[in-house]
Amino acid sequence: MNSIRFKTEVTDKNKKLIQSHINNDEFSICDFLIKNFDIDITNDQDIIANFERDWSNIPGYADYLARPSNDKQCAILLYIFNELKIPITISAGKTNLTGSATPMGGLVLSVVNMKLPGIIINEKKQTVSTGVGIVLEDMRNEVLDQTNNMLYYPVDPTSRKDALIGGTISCNASGFIPGDKGATRYWVNKIKIILPNGYSKHITRGEFISENSQFYLECNNKNILVNIPNYHRPKIKNASGPFTSDCDEIDFIDLMIGSEGIFSLITEVEFAITKTAKQYLDLFITLRTEKNAIQLRGYLEEQGILDELTALEYFGYNCQNYMDHKEKLFKNNSSVGIYIQYPIFKESMDSVIEKWIDLLDNSSCQISDNDIILLNSPENWRTFFEARHSMPTKALEKTKELDAISIITDTIVPYENFNQFLDFAHSILQNNKIEYLLFGHLGDCHLHFHVIYTKKQTKIIKDIYQKIIRESAKLGGVYSAEHGTGKRKTIDFLECYGEDAIKQVQKCKLSFDPNNILNQGNIINIKGV
């Protein structure tokens, strides 16, 4: 097996300089790094406070905050804090809902200034190269602008206007598109990573494939054996822990994507981009019941249409109570709604509309013409867009008002068990008089129960949540389809995969990070290192 050869970003001269200072009783990390390497670092708690919570609202704390602007500065930070065995939490846009960017002491390494090499688009190869500190939506818009709307980057999570590229890679962020093409991992061609020892490597997809479930890393002529995790991951939309393979082979890139920063720091990425549709058909369909909605999803799959969609979104139980413009969208006493987006490449809009009316008429889902709203007019689209984004915003605001931690399930189960799972979750929440709303990605059978609870209900909601997680695993699903594991869902990882999987991830992490400094508490906990 060929070793993956890493090169140091920290010169011998700089290593000697660092070593000569860190053993000094008067050594000040901030002063040293500012003076010698011009690194933006502070121990001012007023500044650090803005980086101690992500969107999960889990409280954290940190002693230092650094905002490096290039790979060399990143490597210096990793090297010196690794030598000092001080933990580092890598932070991007802080849009994570599981506490993955919540620090538990040590240094917050924010990638907000990591913008090199900028946004470089190669139309011929259909790629975009970018730094990890760039806002996802800014990159997506730049691709559209520079290619005259001919090419685009399809991954579009709800947080895309706030999320940074680095965060989307870290948690394998997903958007509206059903299936593999909706997730970040599918589009990653190349990455640059820096290990905690300051060694770095550009990695190209297909360049390094594991053999016998192993990789060999070479740093300064020293070989590091990495045993990749091989616990069984259901082959559905899945963001629950590091990528694994049931066979012995895995691409090194796939191991990095979605690992939530526990193995390395990713500083650059090249994504594949793809052709844009000529136009899109956007429909909002109201239905009488949730069962009708699930039935429609199954019908679209039977007709071979599901894989062609760029969105199949669901608005179900209690959503209308948290949604602006509900009276304009929901009519005829309909309880649930579905948003469908269908890309049009060659056909005319009129022919596609006719096709879809026939398709829906021939379903057995009790859909009339009055239940269908064409969103292609600016007014209708604006109404839907405002309604869609008002719903989670209002729910999160109410959660904060109650001074509660946001709990949004991220479960997914195979279609054949979907009804059974939803019946279970609805029943246990309603029987315990817990307020919640249900929405999400119907195309993947991936819906979010957004739980809104009082402090008096804290104990019971934790028990209910774990029962929902166990049920999803029992039915062939996982606890996280898009939001990752973070610090809040480590017990969910255990429930889903068991103790042996934890040991596998621990062993893998310590190969990359023997001092256990990177993103402590994400996915798994390691004590005594």
474-506 core/surface letters (b: 16 or more CB in 10 A; e: else)? ebebbbbbbbbbbbbbbebbebbbeeebbebbb
For residues 266 and 393, state if they share a domain. no
43 part of a folded domain: no
For residues 203 and 283, state if they share a domain. no
Q: What is the pairing mode between strands 214-219 and 4-8?
A: parallel
CA dist 34 and 39 (Å) reads: 5
The whole-angstrom distance between residue 377's C-alpha and the CA centroid of its chain comes to 31
Q: Which of 275, 292, 312 is the last residue of a domain?
A: 275
For residues 299 and 384, state if they share a domain. yes
For residues 365 and 413, state if they share a domain. yes
For residues 423 and 293, state if they share a domain. yes
CATH number, position 386: 3.40.462.10
pLDDT of 393 = 87
112 part of a folded domain: no
Residue 62 falls in which region: left (phi positive, over 0), alpha (psi -120 to 50) or beta = beta
CA dist 455 and 459 (Å) reads: 8
CATH number, position 187: 3.30.465.10
Helices (H) and strands (E) in the chain, counts: 15, 21
41 part of a folded domain: no
For residues 383 and 419, state if they share a domain. yes
54 part of a folded domain: no
CA dist 248 and 201 (Å) reads: 23
Nearest to 321 by CA among 452, 465, 455: 452
pLDDT of 436 = 94
For residues 432 and 451, state if they share a domain. yes
Q: Which of 451, 474, 497 is the last residue of a domain?
A: 474
453 part of a folded domain: yes
64 part of a folded domain: no
CA dist 300 and 296 (Å) reads: 6
For residues 355 and 459, state if they share a domain. yes
> Could you identify the residue written with the tokens 């589009």?
187
What is the domain range of residue 315?
279-474
pTM of this structure: 0.91
Q: What is the pLDDT along the chain (529 residues), one digit of tens a residue?
A: 679 999 999 999 999 999 999 988 889 999 999 999 999 999 999 999 999 999 888 999 999 999 999 999 999 999 999 999 999 999 999 999 899 999 999 999 999 999 999 999 999 999 999 999 999 999 999 999 999 999 999 999 989 999 999 999 999 999 899 988 999 999 999 999 999 999 999 999 999 999 999 999 999 999 999 999 999 999 899 999 999 977 778 999 999 999 999 999 999 999 999 999 999 999 999 999 999 999 999 999 999 999 999 999 999 999 999 999 999 999 777 899 999 999 999 999 999 999 999 999 999 888 888 899 999 999 999 999 999 889 988 988 888 888 877 788 999 999 999 999 999 999 999 999 999 999 999 999 999 999 999 888 989 999 999 999 999 999 999 999 999 999 999 999 999 999 999 999 999 999 999 999 999 999 999 876 6
pLDDT of 527 = 79
pLDDT of 1 = 60
**146 in Cβ contact with 121 (< 8 Å):** yes
For residues 392 and 345, state if they share a domain. yes
CA dist 286 and 330 (Å) reads: 6
425 part of a folded domain: yes
Query: What ranges make up the beta strands (E) of 321-434?
Result: 336-344, 372-374, 407-408
For residues 363 and 441, state if they share a domain. yes
pLDDT of 273 = 98
For residues 383 and 445, state if they share a domain. yes
* Number of domains forming the structure of the chain: 2
For residues 347 and 199, state if they share a domain. no
Query: What ranges make up the beta strands (E) of 73-171?
Result: 88-91, 107-110, 119-122, 127-131, 151-152
- For 342, counting Cβ atoms within 10 Å of its Cβ (0-12 exposed, 13-18 middle, 19+ buried), the class is buried
206 part of a folded domain: yes
Q: Which of 247, 275, 303 is the last residue of a domain?
A: 275
